[in-house]
Amino acid sequence: MTRATPTSPTTGPDIVASGGPASAATGGASARHDVAAAAPAWAGSPWRERLRRVLLAVAALVLLCAVWELYRAVGPTDGGRLFGVPVLPRATDTAMPHTWDIVAQLGEKEVRTAGSDTVGVAVAKAMWFSLRVAFAGLVVGVVVGVLLAVAMARLRIVERGLLPYVIASQTVPLVALAPLVAGWGGKLQLGSLEWERWMSVSMIAAYLAFFPVAVGMLRGLQSPGPNAVELMRSYAASWWQTLLRLRLPASVPFLLPALRLAAASAVIGAIVAEISTGTRGGIGRLIIDYSQSASSDASRLYDAVLGAAVAGLLFAGLISLVELALTWRRRHGGGRARPIRKVGT
Amino acid sequence: MTSTGPATAPAPQAGAAEAAPAAGAAPVPAVEVRGLDKVFPVSGGGQTVALSGIDLTVAPGEFVSLIGPSGCGKSTLLRLVADLLEPSAGEVRVFGKPAGEARRGQDYGIAFQQAGLLEWRTVAGNVELPLQVHGVRKKERRARARDLLALVGLADFADHWPAQLSGGMQQRVAIARALAERPRLLLLDEPFGALDEMTRERMQAELARIRHETATTVILVTHSIPEAVFLSDRVAVMSPRPGRITRIVDIDLPNRVGAPGESGGLADADDVREQSAFFAAVTAVREALRAGGPA
Ligand SMILES: Nc1ncnc2c1ncn2[C@@H]1O[C@H](COP(=O)(O)OP(=O)(O)OP(=O)(O)O)[C@@H](O)[C@H]1O
Ligand SMILES: [Mg+2]
């Protein structure tokens, strides 16, 4: 159960299924379907609410560790089987190291030579690399997603023609696509710009990230009712003015959850693409390296997975900042002096 | 292009004090509807005849109410005048121009039955919306929004969000928004539909006052006979589908708050509602409605 090569864009390493700490990174992908159902949420939360949320998150983490350790203590050491199919992980040191061992491993040297990085430093460096690559992918994905959504909202024909392909694009197995993209990239020559490997990885991250943005944004752009559209028509507003004053602001509540999913997708996409294109420097490579020693001691591999989870969390935090920026006016009295707290909701 | 828009066509009578509802005497009618039909295609091949053979002329400064059973096409008629729908047959002219030209020239302001405020804009921001779309500068917009909100009695709520207002207050904001471009024609679709009786009467008095102060031509869709009688110079009574105008009842109430030029002035609204001429007019409209068909 410690093989690290994922088989599809949405499933991470299969350790995750047993409730490992990587669930934060993959949770977004399974929630992808929620993008269309996401309700507008203008409500700004006061500080107390925010503190409560942080405490809840910490409590959830503690609970997760407790469950992990509890299973270690009482779970079967040869794993649970149902009709001969393994359904429960083995509660052994190799399969499920203690949480403190996983943390302690961060301080160990990566290789036993002088001047080697500790595992923690290696994970942090890899995380930084993957994050930058994923961020580039996220930016490209968001730009492409927004442009696609605007084009689809502008012309019904474009929507009819494009939307099926947008949806189909996400069913292409990423592991098959990644080497192809890397191969094309190698042949690409954009003027003086040298196509580098990480760019291929970014492209694949973008390929995953654009989808929730395109779908969520399209829904948001189409969210204003006929009344609002007629109102703009009565002002003889051009299509661009209608976009600027009506459709774009109306799409913000749809865009935010979409961005969150896109961010998670970009991290997953980057890591998976690193693995399947063999790009060095990122979490993906680390997962491959560490999984080779996982049969004897899996705690290192868990550290790499932890890094992926933290990368996902950092991205989620980034999106929260974007959210703050986008709803600032909404929560602070239209930019005028007096802050107004919204009643209800 | 703030107040009158590019509409510098030969329409000199604009918003002047001259507001005699006398037929034929006024040079260019504010609204002229001729032989108007509206047919909606229905999915499955059929069609709904919403309006048939509508003729209506509204003089500048006049206040005309449309009343009729639900589904008779009142909103449709208003939308046709606003050029939000295309007529199937016939013609709509607004201040002598085709309806589309009048819309592009911002000759009318419209308020729908639902207030339809944009929730991400403050109350003032909502009133400023049409001005912003038309490129009016920020300072000017602010000042105009402040004036309009004072006009509808919401001066203290400029920085509130729509969700913080009651339904009636939201509708007042929508009316202020409709007035933002100083339109010569105001189209109101059941603006007081969802209000309690007291608020409703207060808002009717406010509308009468606004109309008195701004000399605007008004077409009002309503389900309330007293409301139509209280506010209007004429009440157009419509029949059930296919909608036709079956009768036009002239209302003549002494002491009513009417157009600026009229006699009367600011009489107490309750006095107007309690005089016998008021009840007679209500009865006349009710009978016209009944004669129109099963309502
Ligand atoms: N967009 C549309 N498509 C098809 N039919 C429509 C459309 N709009 C209105 N109709 C039909 O036209 C008729 C008149 O509708 P309209 O909304 O004008 O009625 P109304 O007089 O305003 O009714 P109410 O008093 O209930 O608001 C109705 O039968 C309705 O079904
Ligand atoms: Mg209606």
Interacting residues of B75 by C-beta distance below 8 A, sequence separation 6+: B113, B189, B221
A63 lies in the same domain as A186 = no
Model ipTM value: 0.81
Alpha-carbon dihedral sign for residues B199, B205, B206, B211: positive
Q: Which residue of A has its CA nearest to B180?
A: A235
User: What average pLDDT does this structure show over B7-11?
Assistant: 42
A55 lies in the same domain as A190 = no
Residue contact B129–A250, C-beta within 8 A: no
Residue B194 to chain A, least CA–CA distance (Å)? 17
- Ligand 1 centroid to Cα of residue B247, in Å, is 20
Rounded to whole angstroms, how far apart are CA atoms A255 and B46? 40
- Ligand lying nearest the CA atom of residue B71: 1
- Ligand lying nearest the CA atom of residue B189: 2
Q: Which residues of A touch B163 (CB under 8 A)?
A: 342-345
A191 lies in the same domain as A278 = yes
A71 lies in the same domain as A136 = no
- Ligand 2 centroid to Cα of residue B73, in Å, is 7
Atom of ligand 1 nearest to the CA of B41: 4
Where do the structural domains in chain B lie, given as residue ranges? 31-107+183-292, 119-182
pLDDT tens string B199-244 = 788 888 888 888 888 788 999 999 989 899 888 999 999 988 788 8
A253 lies in the same domain as A153 = yes
Q: Residue A8 has what pLDDT?
A: 40
Q: Which residues of B touch A233 (CB under 8 A)?
A: 84, 103
Q: Which residue is it, tokens 């080497």?
A: A179
User: What average pLDDT does this structure show over A125-144?
Assistant: 92
> Secondary structure of chain A: what % helix, strand, coil (to 5)?
70, 5, 30
Residue contact B79–A42, C-beta within 8 A: no
Alpha-carbon dihedral sign for residues B145, B148, B152, B153: positive
Question: Which residue has the CA at smallest separation from atom 26 of ligand 1?
Answer: B70
Residue contact A245–B133, C-beta within 8 A: yes
Which of B122, B156, B179, B181 should we substitute to test contact with A (largest number of A Cβ atoms within 10 Å)? B122
Q: Residue A25 has what pLDDT?
A: 38
Quote the domain boundaries for residue A71. 46-96
A189 lies in the same domain as A123 = yes
pLDDT greater than 90 at residue B3: no
A78 lies in the same domain as A184 = no
Q: Per DSSP, what are the bridge partners of residue B47?
A: B41
User: What average pLDDT does this structure show over B92-119?
Assistant: 89
Q: What is the CA radius of gyration of chain B?
A: 19
* Strands laid side by side in the B185-189 sheet: B108-111, B185-189, B217-221, B63-67, B234-238, B245-250
Q: Which residues line ligand 1 (CB under 6 A)?
A: B 40, 48, 50, 70-76, 241
Q: Per DSSP, what are the bridge partners of residue A80?
A: A88
DSSP state of B22: -
A214 lies in the same domain as A319 = yes
A190 lies in the same domain as A308 = yes
Residue B261, classed as helix, strand or coil, is coil
Phi, psi for A206 (deg, rounded to 5): -65, -35
DSSP state of B43: T
pLDDT tens string A216-260 = 999 999 999 888 999 999 999 999 999 999 999 999 999 999 999
Alpha-carbon dihedral sign for residues B147, B152, B156, B158: negative
Q: Which residues of A touch B136 (CB under 8 A)?
A: none
A74 lies in the same domain as A142 = no
In a domain, A249, yes or no: yes
- In this structure, the number of other CB atoms found within 10 A of the CB of residue A326 comes to 15
* DSSP state letters, B195-258: --HHHHHHHHHHHHHHHHHHT-EEEEE-S-HHHHHHH-SEEEEEPSSSB-EEEEEE---TT---
Nearest by CB to B161, from A227, A232, A342: name it.
Answer: A342
Indicate the CATH number of B31-107+183-292 among 3.90.79.10, 3.40.50.300, 3.40.50.2300, 3.40.640.10.
Answer: 3.40.50.300
- Where b means 16+ CB within 10 Å and e means fewer, A132-168 reads ebbbbbbebbbebbbebbbebbeeeeebeebeeebee
- Ligand 2 centroid to Cα of residue B75, in Å, is 4
Residue contact A235–B134, C-beta within 8 A: yes
Residue A312's CATH number: 1.10.3720.10
Lowest mean pLDDT among A21-30, A197-206, B227-236: A21-30
User: What average pLDDT does this structure show over A138-154?
Assistant: 92
DSSP state of B101: H
Percentage, residues of chain A above pLDDT 90: 21
pLDDT tens string A30-53 = 333 444 444 444 445 578 888 898
Q: Which residues of B touch A227 (CB under 8 A)?
A: 112, 114, 116
- Ligand lying nearest the CA atom of residue B68: 1
Contact call for residues B176 and B149 (beta carbons, < 8 A): yes
Rounded to whole angstroms, how far apart are CA atoms B98 and B84? 13
Q: Which residues of A touch B82 (CB under 8 A)?
A: 234
Contact call for residues B123 and B158 (beta carbons, < 8 A): yes
Residue B288 to chain A, least CA–CA distance (Å)? 32
Q: Which residues of A touch B119 (CB under 8 A)?
A: 42
In a domain, A297, yes or no: yes
> Secondary structure of chain B: what % helix, strand, coil (to 5)?
35, 20, 45
Q: Which residue of A has its CA nearest to B164?
A: A343
- Ligand lying nearest the CA atom of residue B69: 1
Q: Which residue is it, tokens 């098959």?
A: A176
A191 lies in the same domain as A57 = no
The total number of structural domains in chain A stands at 2
Q: Which residues of B touch A252 (CB under 8 A)?
A: 120
Which of A223, A229, A234, A332 should we substitute to test contact with B (largest number of B Cβ atoms within 10 Å)? A234
- In this structure, the number of other CB atoms found within 10 A of the CB of residue A121 comes to 14
Residue contact B129–A245, C-beta within 8 A: yes
- H or E element: which one contains A246? none
Cis-peptide, bond into residue B130, ω within 30° of zero: no
User: What average pLDDT does this structure show over A87-109?
Assistant: 77
In a domain, A172, yes or no: yes
Contact call for residues A283 and A308 (beta carbons, < 8 A): yes
In a domain, A179, yes or no: yes
How many cross-chain Cβ pairs, A to B, lie less than 8 Å apart?
66
In a domain, A77, yes or no: yes
A243 lies in the same domain as A168 = yes
Q: What is the CA radius of gyration of chain A?
A: 23
> Residue B268: which pLDDT band, with cuts at 50, 70 and 90?
low
Tokens for A178?
């990644």
User: What average pLDDT does this structure show over A261-269?
Assistant: 91
Residue A102, classed as helix, strand or coil, is helix
In a domain, A336, yes or no: no
pLDDT tens string B53-97 = 889 999 988 999 999 998 888 999 999 999 999 999 999 999 988
Lowest mean pLDDT among A96-110, A203-217, B175-189: A96-110
Residue contact B125–A334, C-beta within 8 A: yes
Q: Ligand 1, from B40, B52, B241, B246: best to mutate by most atoms within 8 Å of Cβ?
A: B40
In a domain, A91, yes or no: yes
Tokens for B278?
């008021």
Please provide the average confidence, as pLDDT, over all residues in chain B. 82
Is A232 within 8 Å of chain B by CB?
yes
Of A95, A98, A99, the residue nearest A295 (C-alpha): A95
- Ligand 1 centroid to Cα of residue B50, in Å, is 7
Q: Per DSSP, what are the bridge partners of residue B110?
A: B187
Q: Which B positions 59-98 lie with beta carbon below 8 A of chain A? A: 79, 82, 84
pLDDT tens string B139-151 = 999 999 999 998 8
